[in-house]
Chains A and B, each alone.
Chain A
Amino acid sequence: MTAIDPTAHLTAEQIEELGRELDAIRDEVIADRGERDAAYIRKVISAQRKLELVSRGVLLFSFFPPAWLLGTAGLSVAKIMDNMEIGHNILHGQWDWMRDPKIHSTTWEWDHVSPSEQWKHSHNELHHTYTNVIGKDNDLGYGIMRVDEDQRWHPFHLGQPLWNFINACFFEYGIAAYDLELGKNLHKRRRKSPEFRARAKAVGRKIRKQVLKDYVIHPLLSGPSFLTTLAATFTANLVRNIWTHSVIMCGHFPEGVQVFERRSITGETRGQWYLRQMMGSANISGSKAMHFMTGNLSHQIEHHLFPDLPSNRYAEVAVKVRALFEKYELEYVTGPLPKQVFSAWHKVFRLSLPNKKPKVKTPDREQELVAA
């Protein structure tokens, strides 16, 4: 949909061949998947739990500033691990093959206000199937932002840098609202549908539990450290929210990432689906620690090609995927975190202002909602 189609030089046969080559990469990992991978996720889960326990323990003494700092840092990291490398990936079914009911996409619940079940629908099903298709993939701007020149501008978009900042700070609530499709469901008629009410109730329950744990029970357990523990948990949630928001923005927002027209996916072949994932995602380069803290979403391109492969395999898969990008003369969008975050924010600012008329006319948001 961008003015110059970066995949225009590929023939239909080449695209199918590319699909077959990607399938082969996937099959290779699946054939090799085993004990080493199972040990990895178990180790990560155990480390996360220990870190969280120790951090919360340290926070019992958080009236003492160094303890506050240490406990808050530990808890922030533990929460990031829980959301990214563990929660996100388990809920993708990456570890279902182990048949361990404790590490399974159908049983996992994460330290997050959006219930796993709802997130799996909006993320795994909608976002991963319709990646970057305007009007189908609401991750594209979360319904509150304009992230492509071809989307129609509204005065509302002037405020989008602010919306995006608020969304970053309270990201888990943003996700919960997003999973509920709150914008669309707040219309009077929809608000009353029993299905929506049940889902809203589930979110309410989850929020209550999370708030009670983080902001009531744990501070109370800290006794004299009540207020400092409260502040620490708030900070840890804030740090986790801003971090996950940044990482996720880097996945599809940086410059160079393509978006697609709704029409373009009718009758899409497997090869074309793969190609769309390749062109619609961006990576973050960096150290092993960096990949770990992003839940390997730094390998967003690989994750979008193979959302159900164990995350610890993305690094090795990336080498082969990148070679395919070169072979087919496609741009592998990647860069260090600050550069990618800047690029994404830059786009948010730039598109808050109107631009010249889009070359291809797309239905605006209201029309999309009616259609959906």
Chain B
Amino acid sequence: MVTTPLLPSDYLDLVSPLRAGADLRGRIEAVQPETGDAATVVIRPGRGWRGHTAGQYVRIGVDVDGVRLWRAYSITSPTNRQDGRIAITVKAIPDGKVSNHLVRRAKPGTLVQLHQPAGDFVLPQAKPAKVLYLTAGSGITPVMGMLRDIEFDDVVMVHCAPQPQDVIFRNELHDLVADGKLRLTEVHTDTDGMLDIVRLDELVPDWAEREAWVCGPAGLLDAAEEHWTEHGVRERLHTERFRPRIVVAGDGGEVTFSATGRTVAADGATPLLDVGEKASVLMPSGCRMGICFGCVTPLKAGAVRDLRTGEITEAGPGVLIQTCVSAAAGPCDIEQ
């Protein structure tokens, strides 16, 4: 009542954005380069952070060119870090807006939005006798969180990267090898070619007896799932898929109105508002020309094209679109 229509938190956020009870945020405290295109971002999470389990990821909302974009990154810091900070390690992918921003432009002091940690790509309660980590590229990041967290008696790691200098955490991995805590095989795909999963028999002869955590590109995960299933040891395999599917922007497509449960075909030129109304979906509407923002609706999946500018918008958390000036750019799901 004292601060209506705002909340007291709107004022408290001005002075203490990381306090207990605030929306969960974090402050970037350092950005440390790992390789030419990867960096570790050290974040002090707000007081509401519940702590993570090794192998989990965190969804992070970063403002890139003024636009808030959300991505998920594995936490690479151990769970018992004394200073209360967490670290994520990010590899810049070509055209990746958030990854390039974090690796090359992020500055200490910047606030980012956080969700609580999530993911079940974690170690079991009971210590496995023998462990295999099979990773490729940035797939090493959740595994690094595990390696730093708990020591096992018998750990083998097979890691693929184009060249030695592309191996993230290479020095730390070699230190672990030198201390006898890890057996490591690096596969350099530029010279050795892509890892054929059948080579595991030769690289890690007892792979089938090991509890395995595999993380990397979809191709590797698909091959691993097939291989482990074939040998009847599927229950020992744990995988993590980062980018479940890439939205391919097309011209028109199936539009699902998920609240109403209707799906209709739409072309690339008809506004989604018209598409919905024609399918008898109760659509919020206003000026019908893109000026009043009376028709904004969450885009749950897929992509839409702004009929005025041609700009493509992809679904994501907090993505709302103006249905009166947006058309389907491939299959999409509108919460209406």
Contacts and interface: CB of A to CB of B under 8 A. Distances in A.
B289 A129 contact: yes
A307 B63 CA distance: 24
A218 interface: yes
Interface in A87-118: 92-93, 96-102, 104-106, 109-111
Chain B: interface size category: 20 to 34
B4 interface: yes
A35 B296 CA distance: 23
Given A49-B14, A120-B294, A124-B291, A213 B4 contact: yes
A121 interface: yes
Contact of B65 (A34, A49, A111): A34
A53 B15 CA distance: 12
B67 A125 contact: no
B67 A124 contact: no
Contacts of A30: 309, 311
B293 interface: yes
A120 B4 contact: no
B51 interface: no
B2 A124 contact: no
B152 interface: no
Interface in A31-90: 33-39, 46, 49-50, 53
A209 B292 CA distance: 27
B11 A109 contact: no
B246 interface: no
B286 interface: yes
Contacts of A46: 14
Contact of B291 (A96, A129, A221): A129
Interface residues of A, number: 46
Given A46-B14, A110-B5, A124 B293 contact: yes
Contact of B293 (A37, A38, A102, A105): A105
Given A38-B63, A50-B14, A98-B68, A124 B287 contact: yes
A129 B11 CA distance: 36
Interface string B1-15: 111111000110010
A100 B5 contact: no
A35 B4 CA distance: 29
A308 interface: yes
Contacts of A109: 5-6
Contact of B1 (A49, A98, A213): A213
A49 B11 contact: yes
A53 B289 contact: no
Contacts of A355: none
Contacts of B281: none
A128 interface: yes
B11 A128 contact: no
5 contacts: A98-B66, A99-B69, A120-B293, A213-B3, A217-B2
4 cross-chain pairs, A with B, having the tightest CB-CB distances, nearest first: A38-B66, A93-B293, A124-B292, A109-B5
Interface of B: 1-6, 10-11, 14, 63, 65-69, 286-287, 289-294, 296, 308-309, 311, 318-320, 322
